[in-house]
């Protein structure tokens, strides 16, 4: 059961993402390497398109949970993980505890998102998670297309 005091807004109040480009990799994430990878990505201002054979996720974006004005602390790194489905049928989103435990520090909150072209519910839909600090959401791809369409018309 989720602790109501732990909300995305509260846990990520001082968090920041800072990436200017996507890097790619042909290696899958390995246990024990993820914190160092997050540090490297944050330092190089990059997000990562994961390997095509990476189980569960497609995109990794580092998140820094510390305050910008404080000294950098790599223990305060976390991640936004995105899975993009290429199916017109609705998908379920179940990420197992072992998928997180082997790769990430579970003492830091994590956000994980399923972008689902087959999703039928409008907007962002919270998905039940195994831990109170792992926030999972499903977003139908139609919800992502509208802001980009409006922005591209405004810039035209």
Average pLDDT over residues 47-72: 92
Least Cα distance to 98 among 130, 135, 50, 60 occurs for 130
Average pLDDT over residues 136-153: 56
Between 124 and 88, the more confident residue is 124
For residue range 89-104, list pLDDT tens digits in order. 655 666 677 778 888 8
For residue range 73-87, list pLDDT tens digits in order. 999 999 999 988 766
- What CA dihedral angle connects 89, 58, 95 and 16, to 10 degrees? -120
User: Sorting pLDDT into bands at 50, 70 and 90, what band is 17?
Assistant: very high
Is residue 24 pLDDT above 90, yes or no? yes
User: Sorting pLDDT into bands at 50, 70 and 90, what band is 119?
Assistant: low
User: Sorting pLDDT into bands at 50, 70 and 90, what band is 132?
Assistant: confident
The per-residue pLDDT for 94 is 65
Element (H, E) at 37: helix 34-43
The bridge status of strand 134-140 relative to strand 110-116 is parallel
Q: How far apart are CA 68 and CA 121, in angstroms?
A: 36
């Amino acid at each position: 059961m989720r602790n109501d005091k732990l909300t995305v807004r509260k846990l990520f109040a001082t968090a920041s993402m800072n990436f200017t480009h996507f890097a790619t990799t042909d290696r899958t994430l390995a246990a024990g390497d993820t914190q160092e990878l997050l540090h490297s990505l944050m330092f190089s201002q990059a997000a990562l398109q994961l390997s095509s054979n990476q189980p569960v996720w497609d995109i990794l974006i580092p998140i820094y949970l510390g305050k910008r004005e404080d000294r950098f602390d790599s223990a305060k790194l976390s991640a936004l993980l995105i899975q993009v489905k290429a199916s017109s049928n609705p998908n379920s989103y179940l990420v197992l505890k072992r998928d997180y435990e082997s790769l990430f520090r579970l003492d830091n909150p994590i956000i994980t998102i399923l972008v689902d072209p087959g999703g039928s519910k409008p907007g962002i839909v919270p998905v039940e998670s195994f831990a109170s600090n792992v926030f999972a959401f499903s977003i139908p791809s139609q919800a992502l297309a509208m802001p980009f369409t409006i922005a591209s018309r405004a810039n035209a």
